[in-house]
Structure 1
Amino acid sequence: MATSESSLRTDGIELLHLYHQNPSIKLRNKLVQLHTGLVRKMAHKFSHQCNEPYEDLEQIGYFGLIRAIERFDPSQGYAFSSFAVPYIRGEMLHFLRDRSTLLKIPRRWQELYNEGQKIRKDLAMSLGRQPKDAEIASELRVSVQEWQETKLAAQNRMPLSLDATAVNYVDCQITLGEALPCPRSHVLLQQEEERQQLQGAINMLEEKPRMAVEMVFLKELSRKDAAKNIGTSPMTVTRYLQKGIQDLICYLQPQVMPTGS
């Protein structure tokens, strides 16, 4: 079994190099077949957290896998699976967002949220002010983090009215419906949002990995030139890039609700 898995990994790496050098639909389809497990695993995970059929999620996930195959550069030295998972997950999340699907939350979180709301009202009356999350969590005998995650999960599954006020100005109000972008501008806004998210994630990197990522990927310098600017060797720049990419994947990957019982 281990030999078979190792062989598949080797075949996949070789095909990724071939595809990067000379892209073709035939090679791309082979790569899709080799990495179906990434899509199926993600679709299975999402199917327990939303109301969409597993088959629909799987089909959407393949679009993300294809995007990852087309954009992956095997010469960068990092694993394809780590590169592909955010693309697959992103496509599924965009699909769920567009379908306005409500996330399921674990029963424990539902009960915890309901109990927390009761405690909030009681504490507000006894304290004469709105209680802090730490005070509510203490009464519930859970950590502050679990209470905050519970609140977030409950809020995310509540549909918003398009008549709800999104922005207040001195002389007028803008509703959520009015604030939504028109279809023509949706793609541009999404691209700008992704660019800002990426830049924000890059800013969170440690100094040397951040410098390496900015010089090689944003300024398109060679690793040799980047090494001169940073004051290190090209091999060290490669290590900085690997760490930077791994950290970026962690920072950018969407947070999915745990399934729990």
Structure 2
Amino acid sequence: MASQTSSLRSRGMELLVAYKQNPSVRVRNKLVQLNAGLVRKIAHRVSHQCSEPYEDLEQIGYLGLIRAIERFDPTQGCAFSSFAVPYIRGEMLHFLRDRGTAVKIPRRWQDLQKESQKKQAELIRLLGRQPNDQEMAEALSIAVEEWREVKLANKNRLPLSLDATVCQQMDSAITLGDTLPDAHYQLLQTLEEDRQQLQRALNQLEDKTRSAIEFVFFKGLSRKEVAEQIGVSPMTVTRRIQRGIEQMVAYLQPQLAQSDS
């Protein structure tokens, strides 16, 4: 099983390099097939956080995967899966934002919210003041707990301004925007961590194997050019690259499993 996974990953890297050098629909479609599991995994996660069908999210995710394939640069030394996840998830989130409000409110609560506006106005005229939760719940013939949930859901449906104050310090206020992580910085940080992991894996290889991989993937030389430089046949270069990628994958697998857990 491990050898099969290593073979798939090395095949994926070769296809990514081939697509970068000579983009074609045939190679791109092969890459989409190889990485379809990543799209399905993210679609499952997102589908549990919204009311949109899994199938729709999966189809949208493939658009993000294609964008990632087109923009991925194998010479940057990062894992394709780490590079592709923000594109795939981003397409799904854009789709959800275009579909409507971020928070889906049950139809019953939407109807109660509309009815409550009329009941509240009647109670204000009758009581001469704002009705409390108990009075509103009785007017709607529902439990107080449900009325409070209706109010909270309607409040959370409205988007917050990034300038909204979340806490106050001695001399300044901290806004919601200040607390949000910098997505660009996080992506750069992830890419740097992936680069360091890849470099450590490269350092585990014997010198000739490491040189062959660096010449082909980082410097963009053909296998024939590499063969001439290190004094072996192009077939030997291919075998060394294949063996080297498998060794790197075997080295990286425990670390990837640990980071995913």
TM-score after normalising by structure 2? 0.43
Which structure has the larger Rg over C-alpha atoms?
2
TM-score after normalising by structure 1? 0.43
